[in-house]
């Protein structure tokens, strides 16, 4: 592999995305992408006693599902990169504690899925591995409980707030296979423009998305029209509009081929999800379900997948801090 410009890695033997899997909750099952997911749960508990245990089960079953779908033996998995939104990433570590492959925990908030795909691709192109699993999960109920208010309180949500996706996405990235291929990885910088409203994550993360987008275009010499689709992770309706405007001020018109997983996963009007989906599983499930299908069926041949993350917690908000954002991008091409 080779570093281009300030922050992009170009893979010389681009790793192939062998297979993906996704499991989502009941709300996502009523959304416009339902048919693309492998499994839609009927309730938020899936037979477990807590939302946290349910989230662990979701990521576990998603990881086992992608291995099964790929038809490669579990012993052929070299390493697993996974993470989630729960404190100390317990969804991933409890969910995957019985797996028998080495585990590399990552935290990029809602950018975790793409961070894992990028790191996995570095391992494969570098010769450290043949098959890598990357996975990420989130859960509406465990996230609300942890970051905002008890669900039982029935709190009102402002229109700029987003709905954490319940689910998990997982992909196997491999030295073998016929694509789609991960051709570039642009890890992002932390960008904090001073937004303090934790009910407006889209606005907090959009400047980080812009920063990574610009770096990717400058490093690779590409422009927006190179891609069939530029897809952010969870800027939602508010952040999407901000990113379009910010990109325009920098001379990049992304209006025609840009969308966001948080916009795609819910029907805003019918589902009352306000500014759209969010969470590690937002990008994870929309890629593993919908986007991977679009690539396999050649409806998209080149996409830039850029997952966004808000690097805060409830203590930082209580201490008056603003919300740093980050965005990691991978180019995926046939």
Q: Is 93 in the site for its own copies (CB under 8 A)?
A: yes
Question: Which residue among 26, 43, 76, 128 contacts its own copies (CB under 8 A)?
Answer: 128
The answer to whether the Cα torsion of 186, 190, 194, 199 is positive or negative is positive
Q: Are 223 and 252 in contact (CB under 8 A)?
A: yes
- CA within 13 Å, CB half, 121: 33
Q: Is 108 in the site for its own copies (CB under 8 A)?
A: yes
What gap in Å lies between CA 171 and CA 158, rounded to an integer? 34
Question: Which residue among 160, 271, 293, 316 contacts its own copies (CB under 8 A)?
Answer: 316
Q: Is 87 in the site for its own copies (CB under 8 A)?
A: yes
Size of the site for its own copies (CB under 8 A): 62
**What token pair was written down for 278?**
């969010």
Contacts (CB under 8 A) with its own copies, residues 142-181: 146
Judged by CB under 8 A, the stretch of 26-34, 117-125, 260-268, 296-304 that binds its own copies is: 117-125
Comparison of 145 and 268: residue with beta carbon closer to its own copies: 145
Radius of gyration of the chain (CA): 18
Q: Is 85 in the site for its own copies (CB under 8 A)?
A: yes
Mapping DSSP to helix (H, G, I), strand (E, B) and coil, where does residue 252 land?
coil
Question: Which residue among 31, 188, 239, 284 contacts its own copies (CB under 8 A)?
Answer: 188
Q: Is 224 in the site for its own copies (CB under 8 A)?
A: no
Q: Is 192 in the site for its own copies (CB under 8 A)?
A: yes
Comparison of 185 and 290: residue with beta carbon closer to its own copies: 185
Among residues 241, 232, 188, which one has the least CA distance to residue 212? 188
The DSSP bridge partners found for residue 327 are: 308
Q: Is 257 in the site for its own copies (CB under 8 A)?
A: no
Site track for its own copies across 44-63, x = CB under 8 A = -----xx-xx----------
Question: Which residue among 67, 122, 243, 305 contacts its own copies (CB under 8 A)?
Answer: 122
Among residues 81, 111, 294, which one has the least CA distance to residue 212? 111
Question: Which residue among 68, 149, 176, 190 contacts its own copies (CB under 8 A)?
Answer: 190
Q: Are 167 and 138 in contact (CB under 8 A)?
A: yes
The answer to whether the Cα torsion of 10, 14, 15, 19 is positive or negative is positive
Question: Which residue among 42, 47, 73, 127 contacts its own copies (CB under 8 A)?
Answer: 127
Question: Which residue among 30, 228, 241, 321 contacts its own copies (CB under 8 A)?
Answer: 321
**What token pair was written down for 159?**
């229109």
Burial grade of 150 (CB within 10 A; 0-12, 13-18, 19 or more): exposed
Comparison of 76 and 270: residue with beta carbon closer to its own copies: 76
Q: Is 314 in the site for its own copies (CB under 8 A)?
A: yes
The DSSP element (H or E) to which 201 belongs, if any, is helix 201-220
Mapping DSSP to helix (H, G, I), strand (E, B) and coil, where does residue 307 land?
strand
CB atoms within 10 A of CB 26: 13
Question: Which residue among 26, 35, 126, 158 contacts its own copies (CB under 8 A)?
Answer: 126
Min. distance of Cβ 176 from its own copies in angstroms? 15
Mapping DSSP to helix (H, G, I), strand (E, B) and coil, where does residue 186 land?
strand
- The binding site for its own copies (CB under 8 A) comprises 1-3, 7, 9, 49-50, 52-53, 78-79, 83, 85-90, 93-94, 96-97, 99-109, 115, 119, 122-123, 125-130, 146, 186-192, 311-316, 319, 321, 324, 326, 328
């Amino acid at each position: 592999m080779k570093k281009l410009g300030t922050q992009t890695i170009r893979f010389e033997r681009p790793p192939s995305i062998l297979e993906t899997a996704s499991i989502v909750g009941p709300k996502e099952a009523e959304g416009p992408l339902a048919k693309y997911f492998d499994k839609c749960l009927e309730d938020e508990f899936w037979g477990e006693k807590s939302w946290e245990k349910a989230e662990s089960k979701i990521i576990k079953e998603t990881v086992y599902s992608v291995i099964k779908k790929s038809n490669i033996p579990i012993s052929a998995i070299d390493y697993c990169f996974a993470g989630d939104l729960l404190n100390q990433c317990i969804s991933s570590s409890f969910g995957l504690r019985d797996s028998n492959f080495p585990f590399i925990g990552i935290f990029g908030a809602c950018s975790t899925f793409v961070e894992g795909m990028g790191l996995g691709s570095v391992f494969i192109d570098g010769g450290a591995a043949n098959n890598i699993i990357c996975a990420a999960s989130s859960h509406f109920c465990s996230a609300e409980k942890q970051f905002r208010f008890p669900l039982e309180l029935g709190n009102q949500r402002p229109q700029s707030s987003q709905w954490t996706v319940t689910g998990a996405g997982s992909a196997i990235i491999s030295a073998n296979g016929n694509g789609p291929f991960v051709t570039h990885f642009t890890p992002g910088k932390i960008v904090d423009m001073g937004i303090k409203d934790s009910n407006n994550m889209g606005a907090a993360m959009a400047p980080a998305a812009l920063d990574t987008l610009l770096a990717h275009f400058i490093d690779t010499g590409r422009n927006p029209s190179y891609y069939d689709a530029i897809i952010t992770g969870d800027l939602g309706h508010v952040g999407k509009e901000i990113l379009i405007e910010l990109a325009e001020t920098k001379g990049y018109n992304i209006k025609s081929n840009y969308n966001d997983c948080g916009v795609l996963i819910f029907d805003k009007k019918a589902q009352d999800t306000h500014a759209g989906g969010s969470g590690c599983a937002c990008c994870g499930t929309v890629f593993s379900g919908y986007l991977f299908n679009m690539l396999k069926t050649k409806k998209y041949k080149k996409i830039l997948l850029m997952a966004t993350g808000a690097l805060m917690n409830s203590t930082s908000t209580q201490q008056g801090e603003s919300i740093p954002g980050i965005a990691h991008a991978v180019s995926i091409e046939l």
